[in-house]
Amino acid sequence: MISALRLTAVVVALVATPALAEKPYTPLPAEIGAGGPPPADLVERAKAVAEAVAAGSAEELFAFVADRPTFVGSGITLGVARRLEKKGPYADATSALAAIGLTYTEGEPIAPPGKKIDMTTSRVKTAMETIGDLLAAAQWGRDPLVPGAWCTSRGARWDAKAAAKAGLGEGRGVYVTETVAARAEADGKAKVVATLTPGMLYRLDQSDEENGFSSIFLPNGKIGWVPMEKTGNPTTWSLCFEKGQAGWILTTFVSALL
């Protein structure tokens, strides 16, 4: 089982020598959700959700989930469009959390010879663990696919067909959260080789968590390094809350699977 944080580490945090160059391409326009601090009452509600997870209470967690939650799924490359599907209502906590857990499952566990795995129990556990992980690592923002919601990660909307035509369909994307200098090396004092702007998706090469930099294929096909803290992942995992008569509730579960 791979949690959201471990999946990010497996897919993004590569520590290998970056590629020398790629073919030139045109960055892909995208709508990126705004970042910013969430409302105070949402922070309190998120704490209550986290406490329900920490207590291992499926029933308490279920009370914070919308009757008919929305699931947003995609692949990890820009050539796969993000898609929305509303499901439910669910009769009980087990069925709801099993559906949520399946959304965050990258391959089902395999039972040892002669043994059986209760897949429902496994998926409920995945849901609890993933929700806890995403809340603990939350960097709150908006998602264009979930208007009015606050999510644990900023979301993005782009044209997957345009990405394929631009030669970006098979690659992982990255965006910058502000206008930023791309440098020749993973060093804040290295030579500036390009300037990257918000509202565009670039092709990600790799991220070096030790140095805190991401290497990005620039439009000319060469490599530029940008501080990871100024980048975002358009195919992230996330939870989204919307406010109703009963306060903030979990309405949307966002995943990106291989």
4-11 helix and 119-136 helix, angle to the nearest 10 degrees:
80
- pLDDT value for 5: 44
Residues 6+ apart with CB under 8 A from 20: 223
- pLDDT value for 116: 77
Whichever domain contains 188, its CATH number is: 2.30.30.40
Q: Are residues 89 and 112 in the same domain?
A: yes
Q: Are residues 63 and 136 in the same domain?
A: yes
Q: Are residues 132 and 220 in the same domain?
A: no
- pLDDT value for 107: 77
Q: Are residues 70 and 161 in the same domain?
A: no
Residue 232 in contact with residue 30, Cβ under 8 Å?
no
Query: Which residue matches tokens 């990871």?
Result: 228
Query: What's the domain range around 108?
Result: 40-154+235-256
Domain count, the chain: 2
Q: Are residues 46 and 112 in the same domain?
A: yes
Residue 172 in contact with residue 42, Cβ under 8 Å?
no
pLDDT(51) > 80: yes
Residue 173 in contact with residue 236, Cβ under 8 Å?
no
Token pair recorded at residue 91: 């009769």
Token pair recorded at residue 224: 């530029």
Q: Are residues 137 and 11 in the same domain?
A: no
pLDDT(256) > 90: yes
Q: Are residues 119 and 187 in the same domain?
A: no
Residues 6+ apart with CB under 8 A from 239: 131, 134, 135, 151, 152, 250, 252, 253, 254
Residue 75 has, within 13 A of its CA and on its CB side, a CA count of 12
Q: Are residues 22 and 84 in the same domain?
A: no
If you ran DSSP here, which 8-state letter would residue 86 be given? E
Tens digits of residue pLDDT in 85-100:
999 999 999 999 999 9
Residue 34 in contact with residue 150, Cβ under 8 Å?
no
In whole numbers, what is the pLDDT of the chain averaged over residues? 91
- pLDDT value for 11: 41
Q: Are residues 100 and 9 in the same domain?
A: no
Token pair recorded at residue 246: 């009963």
Q: Are residues 114 and 165 in the same domain?
A: no
Mean pLDDT of 34-40: 96
Q: Are residues 146 and 247 in the same domain?
A: yes
Q: Are residues 204 and 248 in the same domain?
A: no
pLDDT(251) > 50: yes
Q: What are phi and psi of 9, to 5 degrees?
A: -65, -40
